[in-house]
Every structure is written in C-alpha cells, then in structure tokens.
Amino acid sequence: MRLSRYFIPTIKETPSEAQIVSHRLMLRAGLIRQSAAGIYTWLPLGLKVLKKIENIVREEQNRAGAHELLMPTIQSADLWQESGRYDDYGKEMLRIEDRHGRELLYGPTNEELITDIFRREVRSYRDLPLNLYHIQWKFRDEIRPRFGVMRGREFLMKDNYSFDLTAEEGVHSYNAMFVAYLRTFARLGLRAIPMKADTGPIGGDLSHEFIVLAETGESEVFFDKGFDAFEIPGEDVFDGDLQPIVDQWTSLYAATDEMHDVENPGVDMKNIQTGRGIEVGHIFFFGDKYSKPMGASVQGPEGDIVDVQMGSYGIGVSRLIGGIIEASHDDNGIIWPESVAPFKVGLMNLNVKNDECVETCDRLYKEFTAAGVEILYDDRKEGAGAKFADMDLIGLPWQVALGPRGLKSGMVELKNRATGEREEVAIDDIVARLS
C-alpha cells in the first residue's frame, strides 16, 4: 500500500482525552477515532489489526471443534424476560423500542438467544456435543466509558456456547476452550495466565479469567513464578485428553486482586510474583442454569429427557488490541507482534525528490508485493524525520529505509522495531531477506 494514497491520519500531539497508553497510541497512530462516547470508528490500520486478531481467534475456535454462526446484534426482549435476566441486567443493557412499540435490546451477551436456537433445532443426544460461536459487535451502556477500546460501549467479542449431555462431557468442552484460549493468546504474542474467577451474573461454579501481563495493566495480579516453565499446547492436542493440560495450568497459584488471599493455606508466598494484568478472556461452565428454565433438553440414549449442560466462553476481540498495545509499546509508539501487525514491512523513501530513490523504492515496493509481503510504502512528500517518527509510531515489525547515501553504497537500512537493531542490507537482498 502506498501511504500517499492511504488513510492513516497520525497525530503528533498526545490527545488530552486519553488516560492510558493504548488509547493514546491508538488515536495517535490513526487506528481509531471516537464517534460518540465509547463508540469508535476503526480506521483502515486499526481494522486490519482487528481482522487479524479475529482470524486467529477463529482459527483456534475451529481447531477446537467449535462451529461459527452469527447471531444478530438486536434481540427481542422476550427471551430475556423468560430467563429472568431482563430486569437483572440493569442500565448497562441498551433497551430499544421499535416502531410498533415492541421491546428490543442491543445484545450485551447471547446465552438466551443461543439457548433458544438450540431448543428449537436440537432434539437428540446424538447431535451432541455441540459448540457454537460467533464474533459479533455487542453493546454495554457503560455509565462512564473510558480507556478507549478497553472499556468502550460498542465492542467486538467472540462468544461461544457449549452443549453437552453430561457434566463430564461439559467439562471436556470447557477444557477444550481453556486450551484454545492458551493457544490463541500465545499466537497473539501475549503472555496470558488463567486465573480462578468469580462467576458473577453469568453463574455456575467453574470459571477462569485469562489475564494478559502488561506493565501498564488495569489491575494488580499475583501468580506463581512456575508459570514461566509451562509450554503452550500444540495444535494437535484436541483429539486427546485435555485434562492433564488444564491440571498443569491450574496447579499453581494465580489470582486477580479481588480473588487474592494472602491467608490462603498451602500457598508459598515466596514463589508468588506480583504484576499488572488485563482481562482478555473469561470462560464459564454453568451446567443447566439456562437450559433448565428455558427448556433446552434432548432425548438421552435411554429415551429420557435431559437438560443439557452448558458453558459459555468469551474473548474481547476489540479489547485485545488495547491489551496488545499495553503489553508491547515503547516511548516512540506501538510494537506489533508480527502475527497481528497491519503490515509486516514499512518501506521509506527518504528523499522523494531524488529520481533514483523513487525508482529504486518503486521497484522494491513491486518486488515485495509480488513476493506476497504485506508492505506499507511511505512515498509521501515528507521529511525523513517525520517518516521515521510515523513508522515507529505505527509499529510495523520491520522498517526498510532508503536514501541517496544508501543508494550510493547499494544498501538499505533495515530496522527491527522490537529490538531497535539496525543493519545495512544490500538492496538486491532485502526482499528475499524479509520474505
């Protein structure tokens, strides 16, 4: 992509409305713009990152055997009245009346809707297990939206719902999501630790939060040093027994501020380190909490009618962008992990008035593109300083700079954004080097 024809409105100044670093950098790097309180437009660069995160989440869901569908954003209030949560949910739920005076709402979560689909379509234990997910915009009318996409009102979430005949099978589905989440966050370049969690308004008694470690994280967390040694499960584990993996990852102490208990017997506090964390996922197993009142049952193998065992599992997809930036940035800007970077390479022509620079950069741009490398080509009429600053700000993993001096020696300067290391690479080698 040629930057001269693209739309990345970067900002030099620090936006005064942004209190945390991810919010500041998302505004400055031209990823988002606020259109109303807690409601954002995703500009091209931000949307590219969002789609990459979404795709990694999707791949890991599919690998774990979940099927994607898409529920609407607008739901009828009827189902929520049936489950009893319509009144419970309070003012965070955006309530709407249509032209005929029917009560609707903008879904903050989908337990009711998915349970309704299930009970209308599934009759037999032979159709189980079933795990359905969607990646959809949701709305929670936060009283005081803040921190950019970390606590917005309209946000993108992956949520899924598992249906099983027995509690034992339900726990297996829970474990599959537990493992899928470990893999997902690792692929996003994040260090995430599952922590025992309060089940809150969702209900049930088995639940974990996945907390990403970041120096600028929103809350204090406590966890055993032993987590360092745990390996992320491979992609081929889902056909086997997942309990040993879950047992390992839940064998050590890990707690958020709210759940932390220094009096906890059996915890050796000298192994515990403190840090700051950001919640990016939450999984629940809640048995028949929704299936029983809503009549989501199947015929079992003996002909008996059984309320299904359910779990629900959420990842804050748009929130993750904030989480990744909190975990990976420096004073100059964002440092994208390669798996979610909007482009892999940023190519800078340091002197657009020099015809030979233009020709060589144009040629490199074509060659990178032909090689399938995602490249952003800064061909703007700007000074070298502004180009370096913008490139650091938007945080592409690799920077390639070419100016008249390099041209003379036949070399480009290659910079690794994460480490800051620079080296000279022959112009004719640079495409192969980064392909």
Contacts with a second copy by CB under 8 A lie at: 5-7, 9, 33, 35-37, 39-44, 46-47, 50, 65, 67-76, 91-92, 94, 96, 98-99, 102, 104, 106, 113, 116-117, 120-122, 126-127, 130, 132, 137, 139, 141, 143, 153-154, 381
Q: Which is nearer to a second copy, 73 or 248 (CB)?
A: 73
The CA R_g of the chain, rounded to the nearest whole Å, is 24
d(CA 413, CA 388): 12
Min CB(246)–a second copy separation in Å = 22
d(CA 168, CA 249): 19
Contacts of 407 (CB under 8 A, 6+ apart): 354, 356, 357, 360, 427
Q: Which is nearer to a second copy, 68 or 198 (CB)?
A: 68
Min CB(316)–a second copy separation in Å = 16
Min CB(67)–a second copy separation in Å = 5
d(CA 259, CA 311): 22
Q: Which is nearer to a second copy, 126 or 225 (CB)?
A: 126
Closest CA to 430 of 373, 390, 392: 373
What are the structure tokens assigned to 198, written together? 């309060």
Contacts of 75 (CB under 8 A, 6+ apart): 104, 105, 106, 107, 110, 112, 113
Closest CA to 4 of 388, 380, 346: 380
Min CB(81)–a second copy separation in Å = 13
Min CB(256)–a second copy separation in Å = 27
Q: Which is nearer to a second copy, 6 or 230 (CB)?
A: 6
Min CB(237)–a second copy separation in Å = 18
Q: Which is nearer to a second copy, 143 or 305 (CB)?
A: 143
Q: Which is nearer to a second copy, 123 or 225 (CB)?
A: 123
Min CB(42)–a second copy separation in Å = 4
d(CA 104, CA 362): 53
d(CA 147, CA 21): 9
Q: Which is nearer to a second copy, 214 or 320 (CB)?
A: 320
d(CA 395, CA 417): 7
Min CB(48)–a second copy separation in Å = 8
Q: Which is nearer to a second copy, 68 or 304 (CB)?
A: 68
Q: What is the dihedral of CA 108, 110, 113, 119, to 10 degrees?
A: -160
Tokens 């233009």 map to which residue?
358
